[in-house]
Amino acid sequence: MPQPLTDPGLQAERTELAWRRTQIALVVIACLALRGQSPVLMGLALLTAGLLWISQGGRYRLSLAMLRNESGDSRPLQILGTSVALVVMALIGMAKALATL
């Protein structure tokens, strides 16, 4: 009987925890933007964190199914959209930080 290639639970759990940390970081960014009176950055951070929170359950179930079936049915547009949003927010945050120096 062949051994499974991966542990079906731990990889998906680590990925979910990483996304949760990202969401918490976005909420912290939103709070700092509120303190700095930047409503656009605050709104963008809260919107991105909310969208990540909503899509988290589906992403977790998809990860578990991919590991069980050893398939690669990923959602590249969702990954690309999230990555672009996070990079844009990081650039905005760095620009605001540099402006205060």
Q: Which domain holds residue 45?
A: 10-99
Q: Does any domain span residue 3? A: no
Mean pLDDT, consecutive 10-residue segments, the chain of 101 residues? 60 79 80 74 77 76 74 73 76 78 77
Residue 47 lies in a domain: yes
72 occurs within a structural domain: yes
Does the pTM exceed 0.85?
A: no
- Is residue 4, in this structure, part of any structural domain at all? no
* Domain assignment of residue 1, yes or no: no
The count of structural domains within the chain is: 1
Evaluate whether residue 2 is within a structural domain.
Answer: no
Helix pair angle (76-99, 10-35), 10° resolution: 30
Rounded CA-CA distance 15/60 in Å is 8
Determine, yes or no, domain membership for 89.
yes
Residue pair 79/59 in contact by the 8 Å Cβ criterion = no
What pLDDT, on the 0 to 100 scale, is given for residue 24? 84
Instruction: Give the residue from 17, 24, 25 showing the smallest Cα distance to 90.
Output: 25
